[in-house]
Chain A
Amino acid sequence: MHTVEIGSELRDFVVTNFLFGKGDDLSDDESLLDNGVIDSTGVLELVSYLQERYDIHIEDDEIVPANLDSIHNLVDFVGRKSVNLG
């Protein structure tokens, strides 16, 4: 899957799940935490989605903002994990 497609899919998931579909002004670099997009349960939802959708296993020590805190970070993270798998 292309990075662009993954980016679009992840954006769609974030906007639908955490912003009730109202995410037109969410930029790809925006922090999901600082802007209140994601709450504590949200992180668990996000991790569970990534594992299922991209068939990857995420370790506890990978659940850190550096990996998950913007659309951009998410795309990079999924990319890295998928390569590792391959």
Chain B
Amino acid sequence: MCGICGVLNTDGSVADAGLLAKMISRVRHRGPDDCGIYTNGNVGLGHARLSIIDLAGGHQPMESADGDLAITFNGEIFNYIELREELERRGHHFVTTSDTEVILHQYQEDGEECVHRFNGQWAFAISDRRKRKLFLSRDRMGIRPLFYTETNCGFRFASEIKALLAEPSVRAELDLFALDQIFTFWATIPPRTAFKGISQVPPGCSLVVDIYGVRANRYWSLSFPEHRNCDVDERELAGELRELLLDATKIRLRSDVPVGAYLSGGIDSSVTTALAASIAGDRLRSFSISFDDSEYDERRFQQEASEFLRTEHSSFACSSRDIAEAFPDVVWHAEQPILRTAPAPMFLLSQLVGECGFKVVLTGEGADEVLGGYDIFKEAKIRRFWARDLSSRWRPLLLKRLYPYMDGIQRQSAAYLQHFFRVSERDIANPYFSHLPRWELTARIKLLLSNEVRTELRDYSAFDDLARALPADYGSWQPFNQAEFLEASGLLPGYILSSQGDRMAMAHAVEGRFPFLDHRVVDFACKLPPGLKMKGLTEKYLLKRACAGDVPQSILKRTKQPYRAPEGKCFFGKDAPEYVGEALSHGGIQSNGIFDPRAVGVLAEKFRSGRPVSTKDNMALTGVLSTQLLVNQLSGGQLDSCTQWRSDPNFATL
């Protein structure tokens, strides 16, 4: 795992090694072990390395033996051993044992189609000297980040936006349309990012860049082909799923440094940890977060899982104060407004993991999205069931089964529950049926925007942009699959894997690996009948059946509790950090011009008074605070303070 960057000049100038050095210095936290720069005419590549595979031979940027190709690569190709054997049979000669070199040879063999052969998580750029082009690619699910921009001089790319800002002409100006999207979907729709003129390579896409411009190509997308017949043998499918997960975990243990595991206390990470423990043989090291507030805490289940799986466990006890104090760093690394504080404990956990000497952790992310775990799927199912007989008195009572971990929902009268989750004929036909309640609730926080911003966004509809981004055959998919698609192509890469995933882990040079996001598992899951993912109202039914013998019964049977952290109240009270008051002050809000100072004042006062606050209030507060911090950081002096590269003794050029 690493940080990458690069340039391709189109104005006739040669690549500037000084600029590359400055760019890569801004992502050195991603790769503190080694550093390198490559330039060749108008093309330049930079690399900050976190050494995991082939510790001695994997230096980057790496050139092909004939010097025609050079690569800078962040991530892992987990099937590199099999690919290498195949390539060697075809006459390729390798000088290292790294997966990086396998990418180069596979590209020599298959050109841009090479990505179809890779099983992994990647963001890379290959400079192809003979074809005078750059080829960039990002993994299927969007695990690793890859941003780019075009300036008057040419094309620039990097793992993080702050590296692009090393070039003085590139500015981080908040994109108001992106803000509208985040304040609706919690994420932007790729290639859009939070900043004007700065794009991301969408998950499952490659780019070709030459002097004629930038061309994107989608090489993979989530799709839900006509599912298998419902009379398929469940036991057989469960066995197939377990075999796939076992192999997905096995190749994710390939590493020349020890691999640890996150153990949240839920089924998903218990499964990945159990499978890893069965393969590794040794006692596995596991890590988790615990909270003082019992509403969020899962330590009982973490301990049970750890004892059952015989892992050596460390837990980070996260307080509200920890969250508030870490939040500015969290925003600095996330590089986009966020509506939840949940990334903060992940940021602190990766610090603990790093301090314990671990660079790699397995996690259970992705199971909820592809195997039917979230309550939002259950909610849609109940609402749809109810809509078939709106006069039914007992059907809406099933709504009580939703969100058992949310007190605000559980204490609700049946009459109100029915209103909150109400359905109409018109809603049923809506392509976003499953997600409308969440998105409409979230969009209410746009009330906080200043009049100027609201005027600018008056004719904008994030929903129209989303409609344009949907696959052509989306409308023909089953509703359950549509819901899974919205979750797995939107929130997963746009928030879970980025703001809460890669960026929080890599802030402390820790790489996450995700067996559930192995594309073979994802493709298998997409072909399953929805009834096997959620059977009745049992979530992740097939996974539970497949892995029943691997995890404790108590964890298999427990009520699902998604990972959440204490929210807006963290930022108030006697221990509140000073920056909160400044960022939310009338003057602070007014000077950035994004929010209405009076409305923010009313919101902040509600938190200060200690009165009960709602889900919407928490999103609003976290959204405003993170946006304010982000704008202040990127327009202020913080960027210059992170250029430690000059004193780095590891700095090397090819």
**Which B residues are within 8 Å of any A CB, using their own CB?**
406, 408-409, 411-413, 415-417, 419-420, 440-441, 444, 447-448, 596, 598-603, 606, 611-616, 620
Chain B residues whose CB sits within 8 angstroms of the CB of A65 once the complex forms: 415-416, 419
State the Cβ distance, A42 to closest chain B Cβ, in Å. Answer: 5
The answer to whether B614 and A39 touch across the interface, beta carbons within 8 angstroms, is yes
Q: State A41–B620 Cα separation when bound (angstroms).
A: 14
Q: State A60–B448 Cα separation when bound (angstroms).
A: 33
Please report whether the interface of chain A is mostly helix, strand, loop or mixed according to DSSP. Answer: helix
Chain A residues whose CB sits within 8 angstroms of the CB of B606 once the complex forms: 16-17
**7 other A-B residue contacts (CB within 8 Å) besides A16-B602, A21-B601, A65-B419:** A33-B416, A39-B441, A40-B615, A41-B408, A44-B408, A44-B412, A63-B415
Chain A residues whose CB sits within 8 angstroms of the CB of B417 once the complex forms: 40
The answer to whether A45 and B602 touch across the interface, beta carbons within 8 angstroms, is no
State the Cβ distance, B371 to closest chain A Cβ, in Å. Answer: 27
The answer to whether A36 and B444 touch across the interface, beta carbons within 8 angstroms, is yes
| Among candidates B415, B416, B596, B601, residue contacting A40 with C-beta atoms closer than 8 Å | B416
State the Cβ distance, A75 to closest chain B Cβ, in Å. Answer: 19
State the Cβ distance, A63 to closest chain B Cβ, in Å. Answer: 4
Chain A residues whose CB sits within 8 angstroms of the CB of B419 once the complex forms: 33, 65
Task: Name the residue among B419, B420, B600 with the largest chain A CB count within 10 angstroms.
Answer: B419
Chain A residues whose CB sits within 8 angstroms of the CB of B601 once the complex forms: 21
Contacts A22-B447, A36-B444, A63-B416 hold; do A44 and B612 have CB atoms under 8 A apart?
yes
Chain A residues whose CB sits within 8 angstroms of the CB of B408 once the complex forms: 39-41, 44
Instruction: Report the nearest A residue to B408, measured CB to CB.
Output: A41
Q: State A60–B602 Cα separation when bound (angstroms).
A: 30
Contacts A36-B441, A44-B411 hold; do A64 and B416 have CB atoms under 8 A apart?
yes
The answer to whether B416 and A19 touch across the interface, beta carbons within 8 angstroms, is no
The answer to whether A20 and B448 touch across the interface, beta carbons within 8 angstroms, is yes
The answer to whether B441 and A42 touch across the interface, beta carbons within 8 angstroms, is no
Please report whether the interface of chain B is mostly helix, strand, loop or mixed according to DSSP. Answer: helix
Instruction: Report the nearest B residue to A17, measured CB to CB.
Output: B606
**Which A residues are within 8 Å of any B CB, using their own CB?**
16-17, 19-22, 33, 36, 39-45, 48, 60-61, 63-65
Q: State A78–B343 Cα separation when bound (angstroms).
A: 43
Q: State A47–B376 Cα separation when bound (angstroms).
A: 27
Chain A residues whose CB sits within 8 angstroms of the CB of B598 once the complex forms: 21
Show 18 A/B contacts (Cβ-Cβ < 8 Å), sorted by A: A16-B606, A20-B448, A20-B596, A20-B602, A20-B620, A21-B598, A33-B419, A39-B420, A39-B441, A39-B616, A40-B408, A40-B615, A41-B616, A42-B616, A48-B612, A64-B413, A65-B416, A65-B419
Chain A residues whose CB sits within 8 angstroms of the CB of B444 once the complex forms: 36, 39
Q: State A21–B605 Cα separation when bound (angstroms).
A: 11
State the Cβ distance, B630 to closest chain A Cβ, in Å. Answer: 20
The answer to whether A21 and B614 touch across the interface, beta carbons within 8 angstroms, is no
Q: State A64–B414 Cα separation when bound (angstroms).
A: 8
The answer to whether B416 and A43 touch across the interface, beta carbons within 8 angstroms, is yes
| Among candidates A16, A19, A22, A45, residue contacting B614 with C-beta atoms closer than 8 Å | A45
The answer to whether B602 and A21 touch across the interface, beta carbons within 8 angstroms, is yes
Instruction: Report the nearest B residue to A31, measured CB to CB.
Output: B419
Q: State A60–B410 Cα separation when bound (angstroms).
A: 13
- 8 A-B pairs closest in CB distance: A41-B614, A41-B408, A20-B599, A21-B602, A63-B413, A64-B415, A40-B408, A33-B419
Instruction: Report the nearest B residue to A40, measured CB to CB.
Output: B408
Chain B residues whose CB sits within 8 angstroms of the CB of A36 once the complex forms: 440-441, 444
| Among candidates A21, A33, A60, A63, residue contacting B599 with C-beta atoms closer than 8 Å | A21
Chain A residues whose CB sits within 8 angstroms of the CB of B615 once the complex forms: 39-41
Chain B residues whose CB sits within 8 angstroms of the CB of A21 once the complex forms: 598-599, 601-602
